[in-house]
Amino acid sequence: SITGETVELLEPYLDMEDYNLETAKKVCGNVAGLCSWTQAMAYFYGINKEVLPLKANLALQEGRLAAAQTELNSAQIQLDEKQMELDEVQATYDAAMKEKQALLDDAEACRRKMNNATALIEGLGGEKLRWTASSKNFQNQITNLVGNVLLATGFLSYSGPFNQEYRNLLLLLWKKEMDNKKIPYSNNLNLTGMLVDNATVGEWNLQGLPNDDLSIQNGIIVTKASRYPLLIDPQGQGKIWIKNKERNNGLQVNS
């Protein structure tokens, strides 16, 4: 309740030299405290005069701070809510991206399979003509199998003693007889190719058998016929071949 007017009325007294606690104690000790109290109140007023605006500003700023804190709390609540929504959206997005990547991987794998299948189909399409021809050839072989086997067995059984010319004549006679009996056979039949493969012929050549048709036919008769062959071999070529061929089988030679 102290006012500036009151302090102003006190100032003449406060400025006196004898207006102090020590002098007041000498005059009247019971009221000396009042002298010190008035000085303290005047000093307090001066200090409080500067503090009051600060206190008012402090209260104002505290109010602002409270309002700002309230707004901050509200904003924090909204932020938390939005963060939760963002997390849900992010989880949905991640799941969608994962599904998208899985679909892309499946699509790429399917595309690779389709490309491989297309290449395979195109490659197989190019083989269609060959397969058709092979199938037809196999059917012809099945149809002609009886006649071909009959010619081969006749060749093995009866052509051994004869030369190349007479062997060819025998085949012509047999084919004519088969035509009469309507027994199918291959017109282009190669008995040598039917009875022995090229790798075996090559091995025989390395063992000393000559490479002409008659010698190869003789080799077929020797190896395929069920009866023991008798070789008339003035040049000794058959003898050399048999020794080399049977060397690893423990062949014993008398002379």
Distance CA 113, CA 72 (A): 59
Helix (H, G, I), strand (E, B) or coil at 12: helix
The amino acid at residue 182 is K
The token pair at 89 is 């959206």
Distance CA 57, CA 249 (A): 124
pTM: 0.48
Q: Count Cβ atoms within 10 A of the Cβ of residue 229 and give its class: 0-12 exposed, 13-18 middle, 19 or more buried.
A: middle
pLDDT value, residue 232 = 86
Distances in Å between the alpha carbon of 8 and those of 2, 46, 48? 11, 11, 15
The yes-or-no verdict on residue 171 having pLDDT over 70 is yes
The yes-or-no verdict on residue 61 having pLDDT over 70 is yes
- What is the tens place of the pLDDT at every residue in 76-127? 999 999 999 999 999 999 999 999 999 999 999 999 999 998 888 877 776 7
Domain coordinates in residue numbering, the chain: 190-245
Distance CA 9, CA 80 (A): 62
pLDDT value, residue 52 = 81
Q: Helices 4-14 and 32-126: crossing angle, nearest 10°?
A: 130
Q: Provide the CA 148 distance to its chain's centre, in angstroms.
A: 54
Q: Which of 45-54, 69-78, 124-133, 199-208 has the lowest mean pLDDT?
A: 124-133
The yes-or-no verdict on residue 130 having pLDDT over 80 is no
Distance CA 227, CA 223 (A): 10
Q: Which of 20-24, 178-182, 236-240 has the lowest mean pLDDT?
A: 20-24
- What is the tens place of the pLDDT at every residue in 176-218? 999 999 999 988 888 888 899 999 999 999 999 999 999 999 9
Cα distance from N-terminal residue to C-terminal residue, the chain: 158
Residue among 159, 225, 222 at smallest CA distance from 172 = 159
pLDDT value, residue 86 = 94
pLDDT value, residue 28 = 80
Residue 54: Cβ within 10 Å count: 9
Instruction: Give 255's pLDDT tier (boundaries 50, 70, 90).
Output: low
Q: Looking at domain 190-245, what is its CATH homologous superfamily?
A: P-loop containing nucleotide triphosphate hydrolases (3.40.50.300)
